Amino acid sequence: MIEHPQTADECRNHLERLRSLVDDYLVTVIPEDDRVPETLRSAIRYSLDAGGKRLRPILTLLAYESFDHDPSDIIRPACALELIHTYSLIHDDLPCMDDDDFRRGQPTLHRKYNDAIAVLAGDALHALAFELLSSARNNDVVREVSRAIGIFGMLAGQVADVEAEGNDITREQIEFIHRNKTGALIEASLKIGAMLGGAENDRLSTFSEYGQRIGLAFQIIDDVLDITGSQDKLGKDIGSDDRNLKATYPRVIGLEESRAFAKKLIDEAKEEIAKIGPASGIFKFIGDFILMRDS
């Protein structure tokens, strides 16, 4: 029986441990092999080494661990989620998309290399993610992720986001964008951890409800930080949403209302996840972290 972390310190230490597990695996994910062109290898390394919170694979590992399994069993499929997240950021930063110059305090990939390499490195991460997922030998996991990042999920959100730029949008539209663009992958991260852990339908639905709420809250806080955050801490240009006339929650419902809505979503998420018992402590901690984060 695994001792589930409860206090803030225990949670923080445990998340650090899982983060190291993810970082250590990611270092090995692109083998030194003559068959991989050096530019492709180094472009992928550049993107993966830039860091980030590793939120998605950590959620996968935690969901799996809540069934009293050892998280290192599923490090490969868990890291697939980080590869997908990284690919989506690379394509999102392209000049034809958000045209961002900085990401995590470094020049974006297309600024460091060029647009062609950025398109291809993103595509390569996308493909490699499915190789890692296939290692779990569970077809439902492959299906879950491909749907979450496809025309019914992440890509639907991306296209709606591109089309919303510069237009007046409704609260319904911004919710559609954020739920799909950001929420779907976060929800899937939790669900595949739970599926691999052996979840029955009701437990799966608990993770799904929790994931939808923290995913939406995460993106709302992202919008808020683009206005109120510190460029140094965020490692990217702030105010870029506003300059690009991006669809954001603060633009649609204002800053205070956005913060209040995120708080409401996190409260609901914590209530939902409490159903899983003692293992829920760290999921509540993550909810609070999403609300309080400044980077």
Chain residues binding its own copies by CB under 8 A are 30, 33, 35-37, 39-41, 44, 91, 94, 96-97, 114-117, 119-120, 122-124, 126-131, 133-135, 137-140, 142-143, 145-147, 149-152, 154-156, 158-160, 162-163
For its own copies, give the closer residue by CB, 151 or 260: 151
For its own copies, give the closer residue by CB, 16 or 115: 115
For its own copies, give the closer residue by CB, 95 or 198: 95
For its own copies, give the closer residue by CB, 6 or 208: 208
Task: Provide the CA 261 distance to its chain's centre, in angstroms.
Answer: 20
For its own copies, give the closer residue by CB, 131 or 242: 131
Residue 109 CB, shortest distance to its own copies, in Å, is 12
Tell me 74's DSSP state.
Answer: G
Residue 240 CB, shortest distance to its own copies, in Å, is 16
Give the 3-state DSSP-derived string for 214-256, with helices as H, strands as E and coil as C.
Answer: HHHHHHHHHHHHHHHCCHHHHCCCCCHHHHCCCCCHHHHHCHH
Tell me 103's DSSP state.
Answer: E
For its own copies, give the closer residue by CB, 3 or 35: 35
Tell me 167's DSSP state.
Answer: S
Residue 16 CB, shortest distance to its own copies, in Å, is 30
For its own copies, give the closer residue by CB, 65 or 187: 187
Residue 193 CB, shortest distance to its own copies, in Å, is 18
> Which H or E run includes 278?
none
Residue 135 CB, shortest distance to its own copies, in Å, is 8
Alpha helices in 66-114 (DSSP H): 75-93, 109-112
Question: What pairs with residue 235 in β-bridges?
Answer: none
Helices (H) and strands (E) in the chain, counts: 16, 2
Residue 86 CB, shortest distance to its own copies, in Å, is 13
Residue 280 CB, shortest distance to its own copies, in Å, is 30
260-267 long-range contacts, CB within 8 A, separation 24+: 261/220, 262/217, 262/220, 262/221, 262/224, 262/290, 262/291, 263/291, 265/213, 265/214, 265/216, 265/217, 265/220, 266/213, 266/214, 266/217, 266/290, 266/291
For its own copies, give the closer residue by CB, 115 or 257: 115
Q: Taking CA 60 as the corner, what is the angle to CA 265 and CA 206, rounded to the nearest 5 degrees? A: 45
102 three-state secondary structure:
strand
Residue 248 CB, shortest distance to its own copies, in Å, is 18
Q: How many CA atoms lie within 13 A of 277 on its CB side?
A: 6
Using a 10 angstrom Cβ sphere, with 0-12 exposed, 13-18 middle and 19 or more buried, the burial of residue 208 is middle
